Chain A
């Protein structure tokens, strides 16, 4: 007989799984306590999904054992699957059933008593902000709504354990925040949550996290302890010219893993600053102006980059090969794309200068990919016009295509061909002149970090290397404009950093880069950001200008005992948007100074002991949420007006 009174909801010993010869997961030891929000982190192929499937009792391990809710995951798998709530990465709803019918189906599946069903359904729908859509078919919901509905379905039987596989990938920031609020609600009702995510910022929301890499557990602890355990201290530098500064630092302080973070450089120095004189001298020798140096708190990503086996640092690119000829970049005027009566892109206008990195941000289905496809000549726009690399859209598609480079979200090289064969193929297709072929090929191999590996089959490369090779193939013909559609999706943080460095180098040579991403932290790497939402460009400016221009409010971070009760305290407080953030609370208020005293009084009144309350900087995501909420308010107003007119 199992008892849930025990502390461990999940106990894993030496768990492993192999497919044929390939080990996907090896020797995993893990214990998850009741009431935890446990985050499983790692890039694509790290073993996250395999682990979750084994713990959900739907995949048998090749070695080791797992006990979930007191049941053995192999012999008592049926007991586990009947109890837990599980959400797989793929769309797991019935598209032709309505929101209501989906919930009813899952309630019936888990034999939720009729009496409880209505009440629980109403509460979940309210929390997910889905009441208005209860009679819509699931397939007509937006991506974010579908994820929220899937979560409601997984929660309908009030499971003691929730296992969620990358539930928020590609979801808009507002839905993502709501999604986490539902999760924390389930937590207050006594559930334990195990969630996998590729987003490092979501790791901060967990009580404990485990990092998987290549099927092995690299680290497992609370975010705070992981950060504290980082050897050395993180510094932020502003130095100009940045590229030269980075090159010098990479040469003098390779162990500091310097990387570009937008306009700034981040690096980790040993405690005490290391040999500060030496690297400062190196910067001066390179004629670099060091503007500011300040210590910063390390992010979890910094911690993981330090923990991961360091990839080879590719040497900076040789300067002799110029990428991209002179020419205008992108000019878009009132571009729209309609499919039937669905408007995927709605009157978008923007311009991208030579050498500019333009970041297109937005959730799945917001129109990013459709816009890029129009600009590449893959789709004919319904209305509007655009000029790309000096070619009017639709005028001369062949000329256009020879001047642009494109890399799609999916890895788009020939996996059954070798690295060299892929490069030769694209060189041939773009008719790279024979005289330049050898030089360009060598340059591309260097860019991809694959020198000397020409004969390797592309299939055998790691995700990060594949991405770099795809980038190299896309710039082999010196395009003037480079389109990158979610180039870093699913790649480990280290490869992502290196990738953004490459993009920076390419842009510095005069290539205009239009890149889409749904990693909000990557927005910092762009010169200009455009936020797409429901096909409309709702924000367009530099990251800095967006942050300062938008009055999104101020964020207070609160650490106190019994945060669950504290959250309930602020739920109905006007002017305060409270949400969990790991073991802390984040309170979005208009004016931090004014709200602080009031909030502290409320907490003291309710008998809470406050350990810490302080203002934290707003992330770009918070800014975007403000923009999206504004847009939603506008849409609702339009909706109301339309209904009144009727």
Chain B
């Protein structure tokens, strides 16, 4: 006897509904493209064009050359030139400049005499991260300046050990590479949490869930059917996102198929979070509030925003339960390092485990509402 498959009917219905919710499709596409582009531009933690005031008390060719070095570095943008300390304080207070370079009047004289001299840089430390990055750049500019001007006899006095930095995987230390990838990961995270959860809560709110509950559909079937259409669509939506990454010059050194596999598993585990939230919540509003509570720890414990290594040890252990943390690691490995499954399999296993636990909890919780 041929029977109209129950699961097939569920999938068909979910596909129809998913493809008919145009706004959801648009949101997913936006998160994977527009949001990635916007955040990559906006959320650069790198320092560029820092508005800077210059107090040149030396008024010499050398001091002007140093100011020029600052201005042409790309890191600082000379917006104000002044001569008094009071005005510097005022500019910094008003936030018109975030840095001030003070060249003392004795600068050129001491330089000419081969005596040690100094240049002061005042930084607005309210954004500690930007200030410390700017400090590093300023140091490099002044050092280069000093090296060029130093008399040959002084060159000999340079320390014998020299640090020769070589950066792997991202040789220009372009922060954007990291940003694009973490935004892509974040997009998958949000989309995963929203799609399946929204369709469950929507059914609860409209009363159709009750209708489903009195049919012979099992919790597992229901949840699986809710996950499949968004999963397929999100995997498709990853391709425009890859295009964005390529435009930003992010190399894909690893295997594309492997990336898709990791993404699928990650999407399933983030859907797991969303579904668990949706199974607990009764209304969209409740679901949003709970998601809010969940999203932040998952996000901050993932290493996408703050390096995990600088966190207290306890939090580092806690981070292991954030699927985003494993996915982020895998994505960096796949794109920038070009490593494969031999290195990344623990990440895959971790995500599978997290997803399985979440979905099992959801099914259990959902079943408890039945008999």
Contact = CB atoms under 8 A, between A and B. Distances in A.
Interface string A361-405: 000000000000000111110000000000001100110011010
Contacts of B371: 377-380, 393-394, 397
B4 A427 contact: yes
Contacts of A632: none
A489 to B, nearest CB: 12
A81 to B, nearest CB: 28
Contacts of A378: 210, 213-214, 369-371
Given A427-B4, A434-B3, A406 B10 contact: no
A481 B10 CA distance: 24
Interface string B17-36: 10011000000000000000
Given A425-B9, A429-B212, 4 more contacts: A378-B213, A416-B16, A416-B17, A431-B6
B286 interface: no
10 contacts: A376-B214, A377-B214, A401-B215, A408-B210, A412-B208, A414-B17, A415-B206, A428-B10, A430-B215, A434-B4
A338 to B, nearest CB: 16
Interface in B343-371: 369-371
A417 B370 contact: no
Interface residues of B, number: 30
A72 B80 CA distance: 62
Contacts of B4: 427-428, 431-434, 437
Nearest to A394: B371
Contacts of B6: 428-431
Contacts of A401: 214-216
A559 interface: no
Nearest to B9: A428
A413 interface: yes
A426 B17 contact: no
A522 interface: no
A456 interface: no
Nearest to B209: A412
**Residue from B4, B10, B20, B206 with most neighbouring chain A CB atoms (10 Å):** B4
Interface string A43-76: 0000000000000000000000000000000000
Given A397-B371, A401-B214, A411 B207 contact: yes
B218 interface: yes
A521 interface: no
B216 A429 contact: yes
A301 interface: no
B127 interface: no
A410 interface: yes
A11 interface: no
B8 interface: yes
A554 interface: no
Nearest to A425: B13
Interface string A148-191: 00000000000000000000000000000000000000000000
Interface in B197-221: 206-208, 210-218
Interface of A: 376-380, 393-394, 397-398, 401-402, 404, 406-408, 410-417, 421, 424-435, 437, 483
Contacts of B218: 398
A413 B214 contact: no
B206 A410 contact: yes
Contacts of A414: 13, 17, 208
CB-based closest 8 A-B pairs: A428-B9, A410-B207, A412-B211, A406-B214, A412-B207, A425-B13, A402-B216, A429-B215
B109 interface: no
A377 B370 CA distance: 6
A428 B5 contact: yes
Given A404-B214, A412-B207, A412-B208, A434 B17 contact: no
B13 A421 contact: yes
A264 to B, nearest CB: 34
Contacts of A424: 9, 12
B1 interface: yes
Nearest to A477: B215
A393 B208 CA distance: 23
Contacts of A437: 4
A407 B371 CA distance: 19
Contacts of B13: 414, 417, 421, 425, 428
B353 to A, nearest CB: 30
B2 interface: yes
Contact of B2 (A394, A410, A429, A434): A434
**Residue from B8, B214, B215 with most neighbouring chain A CB atoms (10 Å):** B214
A425 B4 CA distance: 10
A398 B5 contact: no
B12 to A, nearest CB: 7
A441 to B, nearest CB: 11
Contacts of B206: 410, 412, 415
A504 to B, nearest CB: 23
Contacts of B210: 378, 406, 408, 410, 412
